A and B are shown apart, each in its own frame.
Chain A
């Protein structure tokens, strides 16, 4: 399960991190001293050579990390579901017409009322991990909820605006 990331110093240039994927491909990142990063993909026929070396700016690297991080987080949640029987994870979209659009998460009192927790919010391909009660929802946010079947249904109903106070 654990992925081994290998670190190789490149004297005078920076450092290289690489890892071998389950499918047998090797990917790496060359981090230059001056902050530049190169994403490198290795050749299958000649595993010592890179097939492509893609220079990334700070912003591009951060965006790529976010995209990859989002899928990673969902994957970990799926793993959690398998470990604890009866505990489920679900992604629930907040409909544009929901009464919670523009309101604070604390106002929904989802955990108090259903026992299920909102662990993350996905917005514009970005992951907002463990949002606090003062987090303000926007239309088309997707919340990631962990709880029992009943709890998840409850949160869905609250966010859709079916259950009022």
Chain B
């Protein structure tokens, strides 16, 4: 009895504090993710106010948070969008993977970490935060810009790539070795393709089977189906997150639209718990030694993201200012990096990984959206215009000869 009361007090105080932090973040134009992580650090082991009674509860909540984050991501994209985008954006996706995953891997090797931790860090530096990037684009009024489809398709490819990466990393961290990892990857590839084909061919029928009329029944059935599939996927070592992502993709049309509306508040709640939980598992005392490496890694991989955006936008025929906008917008890392790091923390592969990932995500997610504004400032615009003008005149000179 006493345990429950303490749990209520702790969870209540925590959620209220998160609500206040969210408001503060909105006021200063900051994504709530870094604030939730900081809150987790403050409440965790060795933090200012350790929460003891509710940690188990928060752990379960965090698990549900990951699942909800992924099912919402799947619901936002339709299977046709994912596949239709694949052909045109594949080169950009490959450039993105090479330029951003390799620095992370190289960095881990440089620190003398094992191959498992290397694989994890590669994933952490690879994936931009779709949520934060989409929000930045909306806030800066860039949704109509020509480079925006380029940015979005890079994000879509990354999210789709996660459907293969997460099962691989889950299996590897479970200690099944390289062969086992490849098996998990093969299972994931077959499952993802099967789900995509099913969703494109029979998506209408699947969605029709779930009635939209009854809101309560829809909420329970979609949530239930998601958790069930996620659980089965985890049991098969294919990562719960990917199972949820595939459920989201399989649902489309009206059902997806209503499910997004109803699951959004739940996602907001449990995703907040998830970010806090990740902060909780990190001891703030471990942070200072990794700050400098995290900063170096952040600078390096933010630069490679700018290069990724530059190359991808150039392929799409975008001019220099647009290429820079695309690159700078892609910089923030967020939910996926934390999800990947979370998997590694559970398996205890490298003790320094959690604090490094926390510091890394904090740096990129705070500085990324601020740096993304650079091309909108007057001085940057005039510099770009002068550059374009000088280039034009140098091009014209030989033509008149």
Contacts and interface: CB of A to CB of B under 8 A. Distances in A.
Interface of A: 8-13, 16, 18, 28, 30, 33, 38, 40, 42, 45-50, 52-53
B144 A12 contact: no
B322 A46 contact: yes
B145 A10 contact: no
Interface string B362-382: 000000000000000000010
A81 B252 CA distance: 49
B152 A49 contact: no
Given A46-B381, A53-B142, 12 more contacts: A9-B84, A12-B130, A12-B134, A16-B144, A42-B144, A45-B385, A48-B318, A49-B142, A49-B145, A49-B322, A50-B141, A52-B141
A49 B156 CA distance: 22
Interface in B65-84: 76-77, 81-82, 84
Contacts of B321: 46, 48-49
A25 B153 CA distance: 26
B314 to A, nearest CB: 12
Contact of A47 (B84, B142, B146, B325): B146
Given A10-B152, A11-B85, A48 B322 contact: yes
Contacts of B257: 33
Interface residues of B, number: 30
Contacts of A13: 134, 143, 152
A49 B84 CA distance: 25
B96 interface: no
B207 interface: no
Contact of A38 (B81, B134, B144, B325): B144
Given A9-B81, A11-B81, A12-B130, A48 B147 contact: yes
Contacts of B142: 49-50, 53
Interface in B119-150: 130, 134, 141-149
Q: State the 9 A-B residue pairs at the shortest beta-carbon distance, nearest first.
A: A40-B144, A48-B322, A53-B141, A48-B146, A50-B144, A12-B76, A11-B81, A11-B156, A30-B144
B152 A11 contact: yes
Interface of B: 76-77, 81-82, 84-85, 130, 134, 141-149, 152-153, 155-156, 257, 318-319, 321-322, 325, 381, 384-385
7 contacts: A11-B81, A12-B77, A38-B144, A42-B144, A48-B145, A48-B321, A49-B145
B29 to A, nearest CB: 17
Contacts of B81: 9, 11-12
Contacts of A33: 257
Contacts of B134: 12-13
A151 to B, nearest CB: 47
B364 to A, nearest CB: 21
A150 B135 CA distance: 62
A112 to B, nearest CB: 50
Contacts of B77: 11-12
A8 B85 CA distance: 11
A33 B147 CA distance: 20
Contacts of B143: 10, 13, 16, 30, 38, 40, 53
A16 B147 CA distance: 12
Contacts of B145: 48-50
Nearest to B389: A45
A115 B314 CA distance: 61
B76 A10 contact: no
Given A30-B143, A33-B257, A53-B143, A8 B319 contact: no
A18 B145 CA distance: 11
Contacts of A12: 76-77, 81, 130, 134, 152, 155-156
A52 to B, nearest CB: 8
B149 A47 contact: no
A10 B319 contact: no
